[in-house]
Structure 1
């Protein structure tokens, strides 16, 4: 194992040794600005996040709900480019020494060039990529370059995934497995639902990789609920909403930091 995938794996192992789940925050690059997005990620780490996913804003986000779509639209209208996403990863990682991944749909990588994207991500200190719409059977080229540069390839599984499909996905993934807690798009919800625990159980039957759960978690109680059965708790829309709802950027950063602290208490109290 090489590159920052080792940092990611070591972080997840250290968290497990503490007897708790990891807190994984998601924030899009370029929102509300490139600098503001970097500051928001630092605030999430300051509050207690163990790992951060940097979203690569995309014009047709099939998995993202209205909150993240709104933030992506602001970032895209602000002119965010892939070089800005790489800068976000670099500065967030260098400032904290913690694992930073990119979450992106496949089309931007395909257009940018797989070799160029993986080389630049590794050079920026990135730990890997979460690829929600890349089919495993079409992932060989990506995985070849990701492995060459020491990057994790995190695939997404869903409650609808059959056991045979889960085994195929986890056999070629690395870093961790992203388990979508429910069918649908991202967004905060009143309840995370019972399907997530069953999905984690079925996924663990196929792999030793950590299984981290996302979609729907927005407060400490839900974080504790998920942390009781998952290796990581992924929170996105709630962090983005902090920035969207704030009267100014400073207030937004304070809200992000406080939410991270609240969620961190939740995963530690599970």
Structure 2
């Protein structure tokens, strides 16, 4: 987790934000428009909440998947079973630097989509690398037909477009937090404006080449 994400996660928890709030927000997104949310949490708070309970609530909220970035497949058996039992897709974060043989095992266990790390750095810091990301996504496409999302490093609409040359989906987190932090008197509006800027950069009205189609 990047320092900005961790700082604001701590602020949210100190302010009383809990798992029920996260899942409630997912449910509101589903009911208010056509948004299909993916819920992200680190393992410790999810485990403290109760992972069977969390899986059931995620299913009830309409979440289209759950990503736990710090939970490796070796320790995910119980969670995976709980999620699958209620129809919640399990999403894993994968890296180019995975040990030999581990990437195929992780992808084979994933459902819904796969989340590829666009950089080897932390969120909000290192820009996505053209040498790193294409190699990783090429490997993933050889292993699965699931959509491939990429994040960590997509900090501007321009870098998001770079990521989208290869990935099916672009994950943005720290950039929204940065906008909220810089506009303390209107964080919701700032986050909305940031999301719109990213969406417009990736919209069909702004076509971008698919790098894997140009080879």
Q: Could you tell me the TM-score, scaled by structure 2's length?
A: 0.88
Aligned to 2:199: 264
- The correspondence of residues 110-149 of structure 1 with structure 2, limited to 5 A, is 110-149=47-86
More strand, by proportion = 1
Q: TM-score, normalised by structure 1?
A: 0.71
Q: How far did 1:163 drift?
A: 5.1
- Per-residue CA distance 1:235-267 (angstroms, 9 max, x = gap): 110011111110412xx3333222222212322
Deviates more, 1:156-165 or 1:205-214: 156-165
Q: Deviations over 1:126-181 (max 9, x none)?
A: 22210112121222211212112111100000120145211000101011111011
Report which structure shows greater RCO (CA 8 Å, sep ≥6).
1
SS of the residue corresponding to residue 151 of structure 1 reads: coil
Asked if 1:192 is matched to 2:128, the reply is yes
Distance 1:222 1:115, change over 3 A: same
Matched, 1:86 2:15: no
1:178 counterpart SS class: strand
For 1:102 and 1:261, the matched residues in 2 are separated by 20
- Which blocks of at least 5 consecutive residues in structure 1 are unaligned? 1-63
Residue in structure 2 matching 1:109, options 46, 51, 65: 46
Cα distance in 2 between the residues matched to 1:254 and 1:69: 21
Secondary structure of the 2:66 match is strand
- Count of residue correspondences: 204
Secondary structure class of the residue paired with 1:201: helix
Unaligned runs of 5+ residues in structure 2 are 209-215
Contact 1:188 1:217 in 2 (8 A): no
1:182 aligns with one of 107, 114, 119: 119
State the Cα RMSD in Å.
1.6
Task: Tell me, yes or no, if structure 1 residue 237 matches structure 2 residue 144.
Answer: no
